[in-house]
Structure 1
Amino acid sequence: MDTALFDTIFRDQNGEVVIAQPPNLTLSVWIGASLLQLVLTSEPINLGLELVAFVAIVIWALQEFFEGANYFRRGLGLVVFLVAIAHQIHSFLVG
């Protein structure tokens, strides 16, 4: 891969390569709500946790898309956003 292309995609404004970062608040909320869904399976609680998880991952994805450290992170935000929306549409259509 051309060095200039690599730098453009993966380096942030400080010249550091950024692929993964520690979870921020919205990603932590998504992780927590998703894990709690596995434990708390009663219908109203599980549905509420599903909503919290969905909103949190959409907010995280939009934050990454608009404010990501580099083009890779912005692209990751776009992909996660599209997958989250597609999953919700699929769940709605299937039942």
Structure 2
Amino acid sequence: MSPILQWFFRNRKTGEITIAQAPNLVLWVVIVAGVLHWIWPWPGASAMVLDIIFRGGLVVWALDEIFRGVNPWRRCLGGVVLVYELAILL
């Protein structure tokens, strides 16, 4: 693997290559809200609440990855998700 790719994917805490990680609590909330919204797609207050939880959770997760990501890849991933969510909101 080239030195640039090693730098991009190398976990700064463990020294191993990290591309994906187990979901943290915020991402689990996003996953559950997304599945419930997918199962319950009818318009109404509950669907709106699930959508707010889903999108808000993704913004929180993205900010967490930007500031506390273990490598540049994870930080870029958080940045892309944040830009996407902000583009949808605006």
Structure 2 length-normalised TM: 0.90
The aligned counterpart of 1:93 is none
Identity of aligned residues (%): 36
The aligned counterpart of 2:10 is 11
After TM superposition, the runs of 4+ consecutive aligned structure 1 residues lying more than 6 A away are: none
The structural deviation recorded for 1:42 is 4.2
State the alpha-carbon separation in 1 of the partners of residues 8 and 38 from structure 2. Answer: 36
Helix, strand or coil at the partner of 1:15: coil
| Aligned residue type for 2:24 | N
The aligned counterpart of 2:27 is 27
The aligned counterpart of 2:84 is 83
User: Where does the alignment leave 5 or more consecutive residues of structure 1 unmatched?
Assistant: 90-95
Instruction: Give the number of equivalent residue pairs.
Output: 88
User: Where does the alignment leave 5 or more consecutive residues of structure 2 unmatched?
Assistant: none
Query: CA offsets, 1:27-59, max 9 Å, x none?
Result: 111111011112222410000000111111000
State the alpha-carbon separation in 1 of the partners of residues 46 and 64 from structure 2. Answer: 27
| Alignment RMSD | 1.2
The structural deviation recorded for 1:4 is 1.7
- From the two aligned structures, give the one with the greater helix fraction: 1
1:70 has 2:71 as partner: yes
Structure 1 length-normalised TM: 0.86
